[in-house]
Amino acid sequence: MNRELLQVYQAQPSRDGDGVKINRIGGAQMNRVLDPFLMIDEINSDFAADYMGGFPEHPHRGFETITYMKAGRMRHRDHMGNEGVIGPGDVQWMTAGRGVLHSEMPEQEKGLMHGFQLWLNLPAVDKLKPAAYCDIRSGEIPCHRDKTGSEVRVIAGEIGTEGKSLSGCLPAMVTRPLLLDVSVAPEEEIILDVGDYEQVLVFVYAGASTELKLKHLGVYGSGEKLALRAAEQGFEALVLSGTALREPIAQYGPFVMNHHEEIEQAIRDFQQGTLLMSSPA
């Protein structure tokens, strides 16, 4: 039985960092829907003024960030001495854990900038683990293209399609994140075996499917297969899922913990310069 579309949500225009224009799906009202993810942000502009302010140095604690570029470049610097640039098709996966202090600054390419940042929650037991990150280059991401020209890239997790199995290159995680970039040719259908996840989310960022319009997030229920059919112009979408944590969420800006007292501690740690210690004080 194919997974059924249960709910549809519309991305909302917003700003973050130094005035960067984004499309966002997130907020406290979406926590249950997105679990274990917390937020989906999209930057998509041909005008440098919309994004060149970037995201100057700021802290994080308690979750992971996933940055995926489609056009343009993003430069990362952090307190651990890491620095690098990801470009079209590349991914950076950062675990903030106990604390990270970093910046993300756009570097335009012919004026184009298109990318995503997703926040993935950490279970309570891992929220104070040491910070870490890795870059995944476009050529390392498993990809399958069918005879119609439809394509799926597996950034994280494992899927089956047309009798083939593809797995992302990240190690196993408690939240079992699934993250795919799917492109479906006009009026064609792609069928994905995404495993036993309770629900699967589909965010359309170009074109439209027969069920979802541009900037819509569709929530698909349980089932054996995920079948997505494109409208007459085709569509591109992120497909994501994971094992829901079902833990309480307390969030204050860049800090995501389980209880308000932990948020107050994170703020004190940041103010006192102990946020980045390798173990709790």
- What is the tens place of the pLDDT at every residue in 212-250? 999 999 999 999 899 999 999 999 999 999 999 999 999
* Confidence at 17, pLDDT banded by 50, 70, 90: confident
Write out pLDDT tens, residues 166-195. Answer: 999 888 899 999 999 999 999 999 999 999
Residue whose C-alpha is closest to residue 20's, from 110, 104, 130, 124: 104
pLDDT of residue 214: 98
Stretch 28-47: mean pLDDT, rounded?
94
pLDDT of residue 277: 64
Enclosing H/E stretch for 265:
helix 260-272
CA atoms of 228 and 188, how far apart (whole Å): 8
What ranges do the domains of the chain cover?
A: 5-272
pLDDT at 49 over 60: yes
Higher pLDDT, 274 or 121: 121
Using an 8 Å Cβ cutoff, are 201 and 162 in contact? no
CATH topology of domain 5-272: Jelly Rolls (2.60.120)
Please state, in angstroms and rounded to a whole number, the distance separating the CA atoms of residues 201 and 182. 12
Q: What share of the chain is helix, strand, coil (3-state, %, to 5)?
A: 10, 55, 35
Instruction: Tell which wins on pLDDT, 223 or 107.
Output: 223
pLDDT at position 36 over 80: yes
Report residue 170: phi and psi, to 5°. -85, 150
- Residue 13: count other Cβ atoms within 10 Å of its Cβ: 9
Q: Average pLDDT over the chain, rounded to whole?
A: 93
CA 98 to chain centre: 20
**What pLDDT score does 77 carry?**
87
